[in-house]
Chain A
Amino acid sequence: MVLPGHLIITTADGLNDQTLIRLQKQGGGLFSLGRLLWIDYQSNLAALTTDESDFWNGLTPAALADPVPVNGEVRIRRWNSDRLENRPGDIERMTVDNSALSFVSVPALKVDSTISGASSGEAVTQGNKLLGLASGQDSDVVTAVPSSFISFTVAARKKGTFHGLGYFDFTWEPVENPLALQYLGLPGPARGVIVKDTGLKPGVTSLIHSRDVILQIDGFDIDAEGDYADPQYGKMMLENLSSRQKWAGADCKIKVWRDGKEQTIDYQLPRADYSDELVPEQSFDHPPDYVLAGGLVFVKLSDAFLRSWGANWRQHAPFRLGYYEIDKVKPDRSEIVVLSGVMPARVNLGYEMLHDCVVQEVNGVKIGKLADLVAALKSPVNGFDVFKFAPGESMEMAVLDASKIDETNQEIMTKFHIPADHVLSGNAATASQP
């Protein structure tokens, strides 16, 4: 959708790893070269433009509805080849849902419609106003990024106040058992929710504690189901308060019941990053990280790696690798490093069948991330590179002649057409010794 200021707003999903963007209007005609202005995968929004001034001729910027109506009929539109598909729909509700590409919760507009496969930024409109961009569909229910959130994001981008999505780094549960509140000593009727797990943001000491009862956030009372009364949208889940007119780093006043009394916590919203998760669910716009060492191929465990076992990877991937998806980052372990396989060479004889082994130590150095392995390889032990794998692997230790690593890497890179012996954080390197 075209917005004022020669800006095209769309969903980020599908623009990842892009190398060329071309724009076309009215379902046909010549393409114009597009340019990415910004993209935020966490909120699933991206802004494009083009420097070809003719492109904007005949295009009228859309008006964004803010607030978003919570009922009524809508239209969902998209270009289907050269035909403008225009399907009716009904607003179901405004709610809070997981972002299409992230673990964070964001506001979501739910629309009933007969359209199929709407998930690529299709426009949800009412009258001449844009209500949202479709980001997913489940049966007849289309989820859209609401225009109020788009409007807030675009304005923040324009003003330079965008700091990324924030989130509450704790999990909670609704209070279904009044005895739980009695046990915690909270008087009066059931209210608030009970905090379970905390400290989900690595490296940050959470100010919220397990068994705190969240009573109020920014002045909004939290009920026993975890909802608050939103002035615009009615009952909304408390997670909405982490993105309602706020970005990462913003302050929240959280009133909790702790140790038998009410306390107000000055809470700062941590920024949502894929690296907050031990097994990142996404990794966009750079090639996968890996390290080649004497034919042993090491990678960072990620959802993308697990998806190489197919859509049902939870059933098919090695159990332990899949388990780490629900484990948390620890101070000394921000990533799981995996020996994904072995490219055969003379020096790695005897290790050909090793694959999908979790790496614990290399040359006596604990491996908490792939970069640790690169550093550890610089310090062989008495001329040997010693790899220790997690207990329970088919082999818990492998040894290579460190003096032959460089030569073997070159040999393997030539034989198997590999351009670099390691890629870290998207940066390929051809240095023979990582």
Chain B
Amino acid sequence: MLRLRPFAALFLLPAILILPLSAAQTGPATAPAEGVTTLPPAAITPTPTSAVTPAAPGVAPTPALPSSTSAPAPVVPGNPVVPVPPPASSGSASETRATPQGTPLPEGSEPEKSVVQIITAYQEPNWAAPWIFDSPHFASGTGFLIDGNRIMTNAHVVAWTKQLLVRKYHDPQRYFATVEFVAHDVDLAILKVDDPKFYEGMKPLQFGELPQVRSQVVTYGFPAGGQQISYTRGVVSRIEVESYAHPGNRAFLAVQTDAAINPGNSGGPVIQDDKVVGVAFEGLVGLQNTGFFIPTTMVRHFLTDIADGTYDGVPDSGLQMVSLQNPAFRDMLKLPEDSKRGVRVDRVMDIPSTEKLIKVDDVLMKIGDYDVDDDSTITYHGNTVGASVAFDLAQNNSTIPLEVWRDGALTHVDLPVKVYHDDYAQGNQYDTLPPYYIYGGLVFTPLSLDYLKSVGSATTQSGGRELIYELVYRHLEDPGHWRPQPVVLSSILDNEVNANLTTRGQALVDKINGQRIDSLSDVPKAFASATGPFDVVEFMPDHHFEVLRHTDAQKATPDILSTYSVPAQSRL
């Protein structure tokens, strides 16, 4: 996979925003991942924080950036962020059965019978006050039946769901569904419906291959603007590695189409020749006729992964690769003069198995079965795509054969690849409730992208910049001071034991009672280790500290929890 540095994108690049496309009324706040290009200063069009605006029904909200001070706002009908075109057919249900004119569907095929609307009731936690949950919201997306009585959809359609209902084509009944598998990294999920009646009259859709650029595709879904199924037709515009907005810090192969893909289309099939060639999942704000679907390359990867009953994820090569087109650089690495092949390893991540086998300045000439060109691309099914795709085809714990140019000679390396979790906090997190620990009214929680989004920590404030730097850049620039899980004093629940504290939240914790805090689990241990009458909390980077009277803070904690209706002192 291509790893992304979310904050670089958050603050530099979002001239265009990538949105998941569930028809969320107030959907999950999602950070846009790194965009296509880095623009020179004059050309950079920043994302105003006011982009977090009320969304119309069926319109995904603009991502809430850490610099934003507002949370996703409630629905304001008739004031869409993204204009929602009417469905392809706005007539009666029977009329919508008709095959859209000009589509490449063969006669008699009725894929729409296998397409369902998914209605989710979801509730997100508040990362700044982790024991609190936002109000439940409702949103809708699309799914489709595949082999094994499974419904495929996007992960972002079912994220934080509390209840899932599915509605079949031409069937007023709603069926309860549950999530069987979810892959947040590739934004895919599998649902199950227990009621056997649900499957009556439905045929599983079959998957096709990667479509050709300029070929026609048709999307099926339940986008905003109407109640019935909608079809839109378009061509495959290009096939490239794109950022996946749902995880926020991952990029995989994606297909761009000019077929209208709108909020509510999420999870719907994109069909060509009666076969599913992709799953609609995101669009770009600010560009016209630009929707994206997840190609079957990634869908098959997901299905293969879950065959053993567990989803592992897409493994990471642990390599940052860059093009190698400069003649002097190629000369320095002693590459043959007439060669136009090879991508240079620019950085090796701290994955021991990778660090052992690959070095910076290695040149990857071949990844798996794919020759690599000097512009960091491979040819995949006739398309020029990023070389990272060759790694993304591998399953977790597999080995990828590499042809490596090193020290002026060709060598062979079998690189084991595993799923990388260490940058979890830098992306959007799902399914696991945010941990916290409360002592004397002081609320401690791990630093994460979700936390920054919750508090709206701004780049214009020095405190906000410290938090962002700690999360994203500290381990890169200052590994000696890196902490596995930086902890923040998120907020303070007011009480007389903490009334005189000057720090009220959003502060990075350095030490407690003299003990370095590397992760949240260190916090209760450090408070328990107090030997004197005081608890001392030290902050970074300016040596500020706060003092509590230990016995008072201990004694007050249960009352504080009760006063503020906090169900438990910790979730570690």
The closest CB in chain A to the CB of B331 belongs to A401
Is the CB of B409 closer than 8 A to any CB of chain A?
A: no
Seen from chain A, the residues whose Cβ lies within 8 Å of a Cβ on chain B are 171, 173-174, 176-180, 182-183, 196-197, 210-211, 308-309, 312, 314-320, 322-323, 326, 341, 347-351, 353, 355-356, 382, 384, 386, 390-392, 394-401, 404
Q: Is the CB of A316 within 8 A of B44?
A: yes
Contact residues in A for B8 (Cβ distance below 8 Å)? 318-320, 392
Q: What are 30 residue pairs bridging A and B, where the CB atoms are less than 8 Å apart in the complex?
A: A176-B500, A176-B501, A176-B502, A177-B501, A177-B546, A179-B547, A196-B543, A210-B543, A211-B545, A309-B41, A312-B460, A314-B460, A315-B459, A316-B11, A316-B44, A317-B12, A319-B465, A322-B459, A347-B326, A347-B327, A348-B326, A350-B325, A351-B326, A384-B331, A384-B332, A392-B5, A398-B329, A399-B332, A400-B326, A401-B331
> Contact: B544 with A173, CB < 8 Å?
yes
Name the residue among A171, A316, A341, A351 with the largest chain B CB count within 10 angstroms. Answer: A316
Assembled-state Cα–Cα distance A173/B462 (Å): 16
B136 within 8 A of A: no
Complex alpha-carbon distance, A399 and B326, angstroms: 8
Candidate in B10, B11, B42 with the most chain A CB atoms within 10 angstroms: B11
Q: Is A384's CB under 8 angstroms from B547's CB? A: no
CB–CB B476/A178 < 8 A: no
Encoded as 1 (CB less than 8 Å from any A CB) or 0, chain B from 49 to 84 comes to 100000000000000000100000000000000000
Q: Is the CB of A395 within 8 A of B346?
A: yes
Chain B residues whose CB sits within 8 angstroms of the CB of A317 once the complex forms: 12, 41
Interface residues of B in 21-57 (CB under 8 A from A): 37-38, 40-42, 44, 46, 49
Residues of B within 8 A of A (CB): 5, 7-8, 10-12, 37-38, 40-42, 44, 46, 49, 67, 320, 322-329, 331-332, 346-347, 360-361, 459-460, 462, 465-466, 468-469, 472-473, 476-477, 500-502, 534, 536, 541-549
**Complex contact A390–B477 (CB within 8 A):** yes
If the complex has contacts A177-B547, A390-B476, are A183 and B327 also in contact, measured as CB distance less than 8 A? no
Looking at chain B's contact residues, the main secondary structure is mixed
* Inter-chain contacts of B347 with A (CB < 8 A): 391, 396
Cβ contact within 8 Å between A180 and B546 = yes
How many residue pairs link A and B with beta carbons under 8 A? The number is 142
- Report the bound CA distance from A196 to B502 in whole Å: 13
Take A315-B46, A318-B11, A319-B468 as given contacts and tell me if A197 and B325 are in contact as well, using a CB distance cutoff of 8 Å: no
3 closest residue pairs by CB, A with B = A350-B325, A391-B476, A177-B500
Point out the residues of chain A lying under 8 angstroms from B549, CB to CB. 179
Q: In the complex, what residues of B have CB within 8 A of residue A348's CB?
A: 326
Q: Which residues of A sit under 8 angstroms from B465, Cβ to Cβ?
A: 319, 322-323, 326
Contact between B477 and A391 (Cβ–Cβ < 8 Å)?
A: yes
Bound Cα distance from A348 to B325, whole angstroms: 9
Contacts of A390 in B (CB 8 A): 476-477
Shortest C-beta distance, A422 to chain B (Å), equals 21
Known A-B contacts A349-B325, A349-B326, A384-B332; the reply to A315 vs B460 at CB < 8 A is: yes
Distance of B130 from chain A, by nearest CB (Å): 26
Q: Given A182, A320, A356, A395, which contacts B322 in the complex, CB threshold below 8 Å?
A: A395
Known contacts A315-B460, A319-B12, A326-B466, A196 near B476 by CB under 8 Å: no
Say how far B362's CB is from chain A's closest CB, in angstroms: 12
Chain B contacts for A183, CB-based, 8 A: 534, 536, 547
